């Protein structure tokens, strides 16, 4: 089963929602967050990335940042204002980007189910990022970032969602990136049916937000040690979308240098390893192909097949690229720690890859074909871990619309 819990959301007054709603804290740098929040005193980035309100150069992990987050959170509650629901509720959250539309159920989910593997993950998390969000949750006594879940589509959930979204939404706003966000509060008479429909789901899968979920579990453990545990700390806020509606974009790579080679010698070395490299386009058209931007030109790389008996994770393009190209020819080691490799979400497009190479911020770029949701679910079901930065989900939820107090 998959437990779904109504919760008393802390949310902005409808007239302030467009000003409060912000991009997730972890998809922007400090500089980008500062730019987005300039002239927007209600932006939730003042809460999630409070270093933007401190002197330039302040580390995001400085104790002063967490103190500033607390102050900014309290200020926002008054100035937005932020409203605390009188009774626990569930919500429907719809995202529309161009022709793509997806509608998810927003509520709280079980930390126990996360720790027991019923809410399945596919990524390893980094301790420093967990430390950051755990402290943020404990200092604010709030989960300010929403986890993005997916599940195998349910007709029962879909029928309830269709009924609820036939009425006017609680929030309706178009963000600066042109993504439309709509939120409905589920009427009390539909909550039990929605909870029952989720109870029939065999599993949930984390699509985006592994660090938020892991930090919620750590915050719960810390509160237990402090004797300050609440029932709300046993749950984390998330939006769960049906798999048929979820969209994965490519997660592309750049490497800062050619590991002592020239463009010509790099291409020659790759070809000598019996990997086919030909002039090509910026976007691969299928699994098994990767596009490479090098010295002002795009090339197509035909990746070798996976080794016999390879796991589904080891058979992904991003893993084969690492083992057959990035490691042997460019000297890229552990992608989680190697400072010479960077990752570029597919929403930024291949023009961004060209820009990075032409500006000499990278020496070579690789444009990937997106991983499928079937792969993600199958790897998660096996208890496997996907290679770092395998999936980029788009569109993304906004922070600040539904906050869970713990």
Is there a single domain that holds both residue 97 and residue 203?
yes
Mean pLDDT for 187-203 is 97
Q: Which of 215, 40, 217, 144 is nearest to 398 (CA)?
A: 144
Residue 67 belongs to a domain: yes
Q: Are residues 348 and 258 in the same domain?
A: yes
Measured in degrees and rounded to the nearest 5, phi and psi for residue 237 equal -85, 140
**Whether residue 338 sits in one domain with residue 220:** no
Q: What is the CATH number of the domain that holds 285?
A: 3.30.1760
Domain-embedded: residue 379 = no
- CA-nearest of 169, 168, 159 to 190 is 159
Percent of the chain beyond pLDDT 90? 95
Range of the structural domain that residue 56 is part of: 4-248+395-405
What pLDDT is attached to residue 376?
A: 96
Taking alpha carbons only, the member of 23, 20, 21 closest to residue 33 is: 23
Asked whether residue 45 falls in the same domain as residue 158, the answer is: yes
**Nearest Cα to 348, choosing from 336, 340, 339, 356?**
356
Residue 375 domain flag: no
pLDDT tens string 368-401: 999 999 999 999 999 999 998 999 999 999 999 9
Examine the domain organization and report whether 26 and 119 are in the same domain. Answer: yes
Which residue, 279, 305, 307, 306, is CA-closest to 294? 279
The whole-number pLDDT of residue 401 equals: 98
- The residues facing 301 across adjacent strands are 277, 290
Is residue 244 assigned to a domain? yes
Q: Is residue 384 part of a domain?
A: no
Residue 239's alpha-carbon distances to 139, 147, 148, in angstroms, are 23, 6, 5
- Mean pLDDT (the chain) is 96
CB 13 within 8 A of CB 401: no
The answer to whether residues 44 and 103 belong to one domain is yes
Residue 83 is assigned to a structural domain of this protein:
yes
Whether residue 257 sits in one domain with residue 148: no
Structure tokens of 215? 């930090």
144: in domain:
yes
Residues 214 and 357 in one domain: no
Report pLDDT for 157: 98
Work out the average pLDDT over 350-377: 97
pLDDT score, position 230 = 76
- Mean pLDDT of the region 301-319: 93
3-state secondary structure (DSSP) of residue 307: coil
Determine the 3-state secondary structure of 269 from DSSP.
helix
In a domain, 376, yes or no: no
pTM for the predicted model, two decimal places: 0.92
For residues 130 and 136, is the Cβ–Cβ distance under 8 A? Answer: no
293 & 210 share domain: no
**Confidence tier at 366 by pLDDT (50, 70, 90):** very high
317 shares a domain with 293: yes
Same domain, 201 and 324: no
In this predicted model, what pLDDT tens digit does every residue of 262-272 receive, in sequence order? 999 999 999 99
Q: Given pLDDT bands bounded at 50, 70 and 90, which one contains residue 229?
A: low
Phi, psi of 125 (to 5 degrees): -110, 160
Radius of gyration of the CA atoms of the chain, in A: 22
Report how far Cα 351 is from the mean position of its chain's Cα atoms: 22
User: What pLDDT score does 126 carry?
Assistant: 87
Q: What is the pLDDT of residue 227?
A: 83
Q: How many domains does the structure of the chain reveal? A: 2
- pLDDT tier at 1 (50, 70, 90 boundaries)? confident
**What pLDDT shows up at residue 355?**
98
Asked whether the beta carbons of 6 and 198 are under 8 A apart, the reply is no
Same domain, 303 and 318: yes
The whole-number average pLDDT for the span 16-36 is 96
């Amino acid at each position: 089963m998959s437990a779904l819990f109504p919760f008393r959301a802390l949310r902005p007054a409808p007239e302030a929602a467009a000003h409060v709603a912000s991009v997730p804290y972890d998809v922007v740098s400090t500089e980008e967050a500062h730019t987005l929040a300039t002239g927007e005193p209600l932006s939730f980035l003042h809460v999630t990335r409070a270093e933007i309100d401190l002197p330039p150069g302040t580390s995001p992990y400085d104790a002063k940042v967490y103190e500033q987050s607390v102050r900014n959170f309290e200020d926002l509650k008054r100035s937005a204002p932020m409203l605390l629901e009188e009774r626990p509720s569930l919500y429907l959250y719809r995202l529309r980007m161009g022709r793509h539309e997806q509608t998810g159920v927003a509520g709280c989910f079980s930390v126990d189910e996360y720790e027991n593997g019923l809410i399945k993950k596919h990524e390893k998390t980094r301790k420093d990022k967990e430390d950051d969000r755990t402290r943020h949750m404990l200092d604010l006594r709030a989960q300010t970032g929403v986890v993005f879940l997916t599940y195998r589509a349910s007709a029962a959930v879909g029928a309830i969602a269709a009924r609820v979204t036939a009425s006017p939404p609680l929030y309706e706003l178009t963000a600066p990136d042109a993504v439309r966000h709509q939120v409905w509060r589920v009427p009390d008479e539909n909550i039990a049916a929605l909870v029952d429909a989720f109870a029939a789901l065999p599993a949930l899968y984390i699509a985006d937000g592994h660090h938020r979920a892991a930090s919620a579990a750590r915050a719960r453990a810390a509160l237990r040690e402090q004797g300050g545990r609440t029932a709300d700390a046993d749950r984390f806020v998330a939006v769960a979308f049906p798999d048929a509606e979820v969209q994965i974009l490519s997660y592309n790579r750049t490497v800062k240098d050619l590991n002592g080679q020239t463009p010509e010698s790099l291409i020659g070395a790759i070809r000598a390893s019996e990997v086919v490299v030909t002039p090509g386009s910026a976007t691969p058209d299928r699994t098994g192909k990767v596009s490479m931007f090098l010295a002002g030109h795009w090339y197509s790389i035909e990746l070798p097949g996976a080794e016999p008996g390879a796991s589904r994770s080891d058979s992904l393009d991003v893993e084969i690229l690492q083992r057959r190209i990035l490691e042997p020819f460019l000297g890229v080691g552990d992608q989680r720690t190697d400072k010479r490799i960077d990752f570029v979400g597919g929403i930024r497009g291949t023009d961004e890859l060209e820009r990075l190479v032409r500006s000499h911020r990278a020496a070579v770029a690789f444009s990937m074909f997106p991983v499928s949701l079937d792969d993600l679910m199958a790897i998660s079901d096996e208890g496997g871990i996907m290679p770092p930065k395998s999936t980029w989900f788009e569109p993304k939820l906004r922070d600040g619309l539904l906050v869970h107090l713990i």
